[in-house]
Amino acid sequence: MTTYKTRNEVPLHEKWDLTDLYTDQEKWDEDYQHIQQIAQQLKAFDGEIHDGHSLYQFLKLNEELSFVFNKLYAYAMLSVDEDTRETKTQSLIDRAKHLSVKVSSSTSFFMPFLLSLEETTLNHYIESEKGLDYFKEDLLESFRYKAHVLSKEQEEVLSELGEALSVPGHTFGMINNADIKFGEVTNDNGERVELTRGMYSKLIEDENRDKRKEAYKAYYQPYVQLKNSIASTLSAAIKNNVTMAKIRKYPSALEKALFGDRVPKEVYENLISTTKNNIESMHKYTRLRKEKLKLDELRQYDLNVPLVSGVKQEISYDEAYGTMCKALAPLGEEYVSILKEFKEARYIDVRETPGKRSGAYNLGVYGVHPFILLNHQDDLDSLFTLAHECGHGAHSKLSSQHQPQITARYSIFVAEVASTVNEVLLINYLLNNEKNTEIRKHLLNHFIDQFKGTFFTQVMFAEFEMKTHEMAEKGMPLNVEVFNEIYETLFREYNGEDVVFDEEVKYGWSRIPHFYRPFYVYKYATGFASAIHLATKILEGDQETLESYIEFLKSGSSDYPLELLKKTGVDLTTPYPIENSLNKFNELVKELSEL
């Protein structure tokens, strides 16, 4: 395991190359000035768009601005993430954010203007100006919202209220990130120390059950203490969603959230009902866990500990990269050559260094290439993270190469498909090439737990959101008791009768930040299920699926997400892809229990 004290110690080929964006600060400053000038020009169009030609001039200029701005912002963000303590780069991101506000205000007139047009007028503009063909889909897409947009004065009032409406989420963020003080735990030297989130994620997987229990109790302590305050912020957030849906004339808060992706609410309901109808394999896994851990009572703090101990593998970065490329060979030579380019051309920042942003992400920059941030630890988790982020990276790269700027960015709805397909191909490769029974068990356990977290837990959260919003829509009260009862019932339905409940279980709702971003988590589950379905077909050698999948990666947002997936054979309006992935889960659990 290599640890670096400074960024300078990291070998050059393991650091990304930001000169692909800007060779020096002067060029960045030039673009900054350039964007300010374009913003001024755009502002001058307010009240001056009277025909197809002026509409086209505005849109063309606006696209040029967003191209340059995305590059400028990416450079600032990536520079800061290399070392978040660096004041010089912090000032870059501050300037970029300030510029972003300027840019938004210079174009804020456009949406109300567009939606004030009659459809016949807009169509006349499009027909009269050849250049508008390029923007046509986007203009008509914006028009889809016309029925949900209010008068200019009402819209102004709502935008004034924007900040007030975001208070519940902001307050929860403050409680959760700044104010919360977890209880104390005993460290390895026998001293009492305050628990941190980082410590918790390690301790909850500790083989020592007393340590897990102590961490669990300490972690939930502040949430239980603050239950009424948090219930009040969550209740307010839900009521805000419901009120906004009503004001904007959507049938429900759920349908408002699904409108952008053109997802019918049946897809959401089908995800929940199909999962519930096939929940037995999840219960089977809970029973297996109880058996393997040799426990009389399985409790919530026993649900994360790995079932196989002592198989920590050291996997260097180069070895991990080679393994990933072999594992992804079923996706074809073009795909693997893209991944090799990521490494050779330094698109990836590999190592953890003091001050570097934690976690991992992929940032696609149109007209340049993707940038991937890792904090690689030379272990199995890091190998999976690498494959995951390279899935996002390849999706960004292929979409940018094959789509014009306007449709190059893919929707969040399909974002997790490419990353998960990579992970499924990777686990498959590792299992096929591993003879050691203990390591095989460890791999299966790793993937089953990931399946559980990305799929079952998210579906449970999605059902919690649906139930609580429906209650608000009927004018029923939302408070601690109501949230507790719904959450506890769902937790039992999803995890089975083998879990013995501690008092803390029912407060699970109080620590989930995603609940302040309504009806978002279900996308993890649909993306995961779609990926399992596709990867299974690709591994069976289905050539048609492989070709349509690569086509999908090149499609960006050239169609609505459900339509893009349908072209690959995944139809989320039917139970089939969900059932198919749950069958896969069942097979994994069966194989683990046989081992």
> H-helix or E-strand containing 372?
strand 370-376
The pLDDT-based confidence of 419 (bands split at 50, 70, 90) is: very high
CA distances from 285 to 2, 154, 460, 566, 586 (A): 36, 53, 16, 31, 9
- How many other C-beta atoms can be found within 10 angstroms of the C-beta atom of residue 526? 30
375 — phi, psi (to 5°)?
A: -130, 70
Task: Name the token pair of 306.
Answer: 């790995």
Can you tell me which residue has the tokens 């272990």? 379
AA identity, residue 539 = L
Domains and CATH numbers, the chain: 14-149 (1.20.140.70), 231-313+414-595 (1.10.1370.20)
* Cα separation, 391 vs 370, whole angstroms: 11
Question: What was the pLDDT predicted at 284?
Answer: 96
Question: What was the pLDDT predicted at 154?
Answer: 85
Contact 180, 222 (CB under 8 A): yes
Quick one: average pLDDT of 126-134? 96
Q: Give pLDDT tens digits for 45-76.
A: 999 999 999 999 999 999 999 999 999 999 99
Contacts of 253 (CB under 8 A, 6+ apart): 238, 241, 242, 244, 245, 469, 472, 473, 518, 519
3-state secondary structure of 189: coil
Judged by average pLDDT, the poorest of 120-129, 140-149, 452-461, 506-515 is 140-149
Q: Give pLDDT tens digits for 489-540.
A: 999 999 999 999 999 999 999 999 999 999 999 999 999 999 999 999 999 9
Question: What was the pLDDT predicted at 1?
Answer: 54
Question: Average pLDDT over the chain, rounded to whole?
Answer: 94
Query: 267: closest CA among 522, 588, 2?
Result: 522
pLDDT above 70 (res 557): yes
Q: Give pLDDT tens digits for 322-377.
A: 999 999 999 999 999 999 999 999 999 999 998 898 889 999 999 999 999 999 99
pLDDT above 80 (res 36): yes
Q: List residues with catalytic annotation.
A: 389
Question: What was the pLDDT predicted at 137?
Answer: 93
Listed in sequence order, the DSSP H helices in 10-51 are 25-43
CA distances from 398 to 148, 351, 448, 542 (A): 34, 26, 30, 21
Quick one: average pLDDT of 221-227? 97
Give helix 209-225 / helix 227-247 axis angle, nearest 10°.
Answer: 60
Question: What was the pLDDT predicted at 151?
Answer: 79
Global confidence as pTM: 0.89
pLDDT above 90 (res 201): no
pLDDT above 70 (res 2): no
Q: Give pLDDT tens digits for 285-308.
A: 999 999 999 999 999 999 999 998
Contact 399, 553 (CB under 8 A): yes
Listed in sequence order, the DSSP H helices in 47-86 are 52-82
% residues pLDDT > 90 (the chain): 84
